[in-house]
Amino acid sequence: MPSTNNTVLRYKRDIGNQSSYIGGILTSKNNSSISNQVAGVDGAYSTSRFMKNKNLVIGSFITKSFDKNTNNNGSYAWRIFADYPNDLIDNFMAVGSIEQNYNPELGFIDRKNVDIYTWYFRFTPRWFTNLGIRKMSFKPWAFRIYKTNTTGELESFYNESRPLGFFTKSGERFEYNIQNQYERLDESFALTDSISIPAGKYWMLRQELQAGTFEGRRVWAEASYNWGEFYSGHISTLETSLGINASRHLNFRTDYIYNDIKTPQGNTVTNELAEYINYAFNPKLDLSFFIQWNSLDDLLFGNLRLHWIPRVGEDLYVVYNRGYDKLQSLKLSEPSSQSAAVKLVWRFVF
């Protein structure tokens, strides 16, 4: 019989305007073919008195995975970061690594065998307040670099700069962003059944406009339009959201995404529609329903989730997922996939 367990420990200390914590995690998954454990520690220090009255957070973590019948070399993941989150300047810097053999069976990582370098810098002065502007929003850079851990070669790069953005006193926002991206494809990948992106090194430049209204209103909306280079071709993306706060307990949100992709290998258009419904019985108990349709795969997927907070810092989730592959032959009583999961997060105080 398979067995899994997940243990998280935290020790926190607060002294005036300073706080620190140190924590540990231990996970284990065992069955007839797998024996996997992950152990790690993390910690952080924060203060609101840096340079007399500024916020500063410094932290790090390190974890290691252990697998049966392996030597477990190159199985670490770690990160060190410093954050300066203040009203005028928000500056975040981090360096980390996920080694080639790191394997968290009870977790998820989007890639491994990489060194990761991150630096976000935001400048938000309170200008033009007499015109209804709460604060401006400039982002000279916000980049993330991935280098292959074993070779040091650049794997991917993403940066977003914001030459113009602002938030209004009534809650509206606007952004104009410039995005630079690099991807090294060591092998081709299938974008669709008929379009394949060739292996190679790609530098891409895109632009983006975003605007949104205050989400606390009875009806609110957001929209973004992104256009530019996409590997060997071009892409245009429109994303919209419409929200309705029907009452203090019930709210709805509808998302729609449209992609128009043109490449030398072929063109494609995709549509994605999603609906979120959330009912909060009280601040500690809510029920949510999510359903999504994707035209590229003709896939319909949804889930029902119950979330209960026994005490602050503790959570119980009960989730039921259900999916259908082809809508042309849809039978609600015959899903192509379904699953259920229960997750409990419990806080131990020492």
pLDDT, tens digit (0-9, with 9 covering 90-100), for 264-321:
999 999 999 999 999 999 999 999 999 999 988 888 999 999 999 998 878 999 999 9
DSSP 3-state of 129: helix
| Nearest CA-CA partner of 264 in 182, 198, 190, 192 | 198
- Residue for token pair 């008929």: 194
Could you write out the DSSP letters of every residue in 34-101?
A: -EEEEEEEEEEEEEEEETTTEEEEEEEEEEEEEETTS--TT-EEEEEEEEEE-SSEEEEEEEEEE-TT
* pLDDT at res. 69: 80
Q: Report how far apart, in Å, the C-alpha atoms of 340 and of each of 7, 221, 299, 317, 319 are.
A: 21, 32, 19, 11, 6
Alpha-carbon gap, residue 87 to 143, rounded angstroms: 21
Residues 203/179, Cβ–Cβ less than 8 Å = no
Tokens of 241: 């959201």
CA 238 from centre of chain: 20
DSSP 3-state of 5: strand
DSSP 3-state of 326: coil
Alpha-carbon gap, residue 114 to 101, rounded angstroms: 11
* pLDDT at res. 27: 86
Phi-psi region of 298 (alpha: psi -120 to 50; beta: other; left: phi over 0): left
Alpha-carbon gap, residue 135 to 86, rounded angstroms: 13
DSSP 3-state of 142: strand
DSSP 3-state of 185: strand
**With bands split at pLDDT 50, 70 and 90, how would you rate the model's confidence at 25?**
confident
**With bands split at pLDDT 50, 70 and 90, how would you rate the model's confidence at 11?**
low
| Nearest CA-CA partner of 96 in 119, 74, 114 | 114
* pLDDT at res. 17: 75
DSSP 3-state of 124: coil
Residue positions counted in the chain: 350
Q: What is the mean pLDDT of residues 10-21?
A: 68
Alpha-carbon gap, residue 171 to 132, rounded angstroms: 10
Greatest mean pLDDT among 71-80, 97-106, 218-227 lies in: 218-227
Looking at the predicted structure, is the pLDDT value of residue 10 above 80?
no
pTM for this predicted structure? 0.84
List alpha helices for 67-138, DSSP H.
Answer: none
Tokens of 195: 């379009």
Residues 128/104, Cβ–Cβ less than 8 Å = no
Tokens of 255: 């998302």
Q: Beta-carbon neighbour count of residue 71 at 10 Å?
A: 8
